[in-house]
Amino acid sequence: MLLIHCPYCEEDRSELEFRWAGEAHIARPENIAAISDEEFAEYFFLRNNEKGLTYERWRHIHGCGRFFNAARDTVSDRFLMTYKAGLPKQALPETGASEKTVETYEATEGDAR
Ligand SMILES: [Zn+2]
Protein backbone atom coordinates (compact mmCIF):
# COMPACT_ATOMS: atom_id res chain seq x y z
CA MET A 1 0.00 0.00 0.00
CA LEU A 2 1.24 3.44 -0.90
CA LEU A 3 1.76 5.76 2.04
CA ILE A 4 1.44 9.52 1.57
CA HIS A 5 2.79 12.03 4.05
CA CYS A 6 0.29 14.71 5.05
CA PRO A 7 2.25 17.89 5.92
CA TYR A 8 -0.56 19.03 8.23
CA CYS A 9 -1.17 15.80 10.15
CA GLU A 10 2.59 15.09 9.99
CA GLU A 11 1.92 11.40 9.47
CA ASP A 12 2.30 8.87 6.68
CA ARG A 13 -1.22 7.69 5.88
CA SER A 14 -2.76 5.22 3.43
CA GLU A 15 -3.31 6.44 -0.12
CA LEU A 16 -6.99 5.57 0.37
CA GLU A 17 -7.34 8.68 2.57
CA PHE A 18 -6.20 11.04 -0.19
CA ARG A 19 -7.59 12.46 -3.41
CA TRP A 20 -5.62 13.87 -6.31
CA ALA A 21 -6.60 17.47 -7.06
CA GLY A 22 -4.75 18.36 -10.23
CA GLU A 23 -1.58 20.15 -11.16
CA ALA A 24 -0.11 22.48 -8.56
CA HIS A 25 1.08 26.05 -8.93
CA ILE A 26 -1.40 27.13 -11.59
CA ALA A 27 -1.42 30.92 -11.46
CA ARG A 28 -4.81 32.55 -12.00
CA PRO A 29 -4.61 35.50 -14.41
CA GLU A 30 -4.69 38.83 -12.56
CA ASN A 31 -7.54 40.25 -14.64
CA ILE A 32 -9.41 37.21 -15.86
CA ALA A 33 -12.14 39.32 -17.49
CA ALA A 34 -9.60 40.94 -19.80
CA ILE A 35 -8.05 37.80 -21.28
CA SER A 36 -9.11 36.22 -24.56
CA ASP A 37 -11.11 33.01 -24.79
CA GLU A 38 -7.98 31.20 -25.97
CA GLU A 39 -5.96 32.47 -23.01
CA PHE A 40 -8.76 31.46 -20.64
CA ALA A 41 -8.95 27.99 -22.19
CA GLU A 42 -5.20 27.60 -21.79
CA TYR A 43 -5.33 28.68 -18.15
CA PHE A 44 -8.45 26.68 -17.26
CA PHE A 45 -8.14 23.46 -19.27
CA LEU A 46 -4.59 22.84 -20.45
CA ARG A 47 -2.13 21.09 -18.16
CA ASN A 48 1.46 19.99 -18.65
CA ASN A 49 0.85 16.28 -17.89
CA GLU A 50 4.58 15.64 -17.88
CA LYS A 51 6.22 12.27 -17.57
CA GLY A 52 8.48 12.05 -14.52
CA LEU A 53 8.68 14.78 -11.90
CA THR A 54 5.40 16.59 -11.49
CA TYR A 55 3.98 18.93 -8.87
CA GLU A 56 0.41 18.19 -7.87
CA ARG A 57 -2.25 19.25 -5.43
CA TRP A 58 -3.61 16.55 -3.16
CA ARG A 59 -6.28 16.60 -0.50
CA HIS A 60 -6.34 14.57 2.70
CA ILE A 61 -10.03 13.99 2.15
CA HIS A 62 -10.47 11.27 4.80
CA GLY A 63 -8.19 12.93 7.32
CA CYS A 64 -7.74 16.61 8.04
CA GLY A 65 -9.44 17.57 4.78
CA ARG A 66 -6.73 20.04 3.82
CA PHE A 67 -5.10 20.60 0.45
CA PHE A 68 -1.34 20.33 0.10
CA ASN A 69 1.24 20.03 -2.67
CA ALA A 70 3.30 17.03 -3.59
CA ALA A 71 6.25 16.38 -5.87
CA ARG A 72 5.68 12.98 -7.44
CA ASP A 73 7.44 10.88 -10.04
CA THR A 74 4.71 9.73 -12.43
CA VAL A 75 6.89 6.90 -13.75
CA SER A 76 7.61 5.22 -10.41
CA ASP A 77 4.53 6.67 -8.61
CA ARG A 78 6.82 7.70 -5.75
CA PHE A 79 6.03 10.75 -3.69
CA LEU A 80 9.30 12.66 -3.47
CA MET A 81 8.10 15.42 -1.14
CA THR A 82 4.96 16.97 0.25
CA TYR A 83 4.54 20.52 1.51
CA LYS A 84 1.83 22.82 2.67
CA ALA A 85 -0.47 24.66 0.28
CA GLY A 86 0.39 28.27 -0.37
CA LEU A 87 4.12 27.68 -0.42
CA PRO A 88 6.04 28.23 -3.66
CA LYS A 89 7.23 25.24 -5.66
CA GLN A 90 9.87 23.52 -3.56
CA ALA A 91 13.19 22.24 -4.85
CA LEU A 92 13.80 18.58 -4.24
CA PRO A 93 16.34 17.72 -1.56
CA GLU A 94 19.82 16.91 -2.85
CA THR A 95 19.90 13.47 -1.30
CA GLY A 96 17.21 10.89 -1.10
CA ALA A 97 15.42 12.17 -4.18
CA SER A 98 14.86 8.63 -5.31
CA GLU A 99 13.38 7.66 -1.98
CA LYS A 100 10.18 8.86 -0.44
CA THR A 101 10.88 11.79 1.83
CA VAL A 102 8.66 13.22 4.45
CA GLU A 103 10.05 16.72 4.65
CA THR A 104 7.62 19.45 5.37
CA TYR A 105 8.01 23.18 5.51
CA GLU A 106 6.50 25.67 7.86
CA ALA A 107 3.55 27.60 6.53
CA THR A 108 3.80 31.27 5.71
CA GLU A 109 1.14 33.93 5.84
CA GLY A 110 -0.06 32.78 2.40
CA ASP A 111 -0.96 29.38 3.74
CA ALA A 112 -4.55 28.68 2.86
CA ARG A 113 -6.76 25.84 3.96
ZN1 LIG B 1 -3.93 15.55 6.99
pLDDT above 70: residue 100? no
CA distances from 103 to 10, 47, 49 (A): 9, 26, 24
* CA separation for the pair 43, 40 (Å, rounded): 5
pLDDT tens profile 33-70: 999 999 999 999 999 888 999 999 999 999 999 999 99
Taking a 5 Å cut-off on Cβ, the residues next to ion ligand 1 are: 6, 8-9, 60, 63-64
Query: If you measure from the C-alpha of residue 52 to the centroid of ligand 1, how many angstroms do you get, rounded to a whole number?
Result: 25
- The string of pLDDT tens digits covering residues 67-89 is 999 999 999 999 999 999 999 99
Structural domains of the chain ordered from first start: 3-109 (3.30.2270.10)
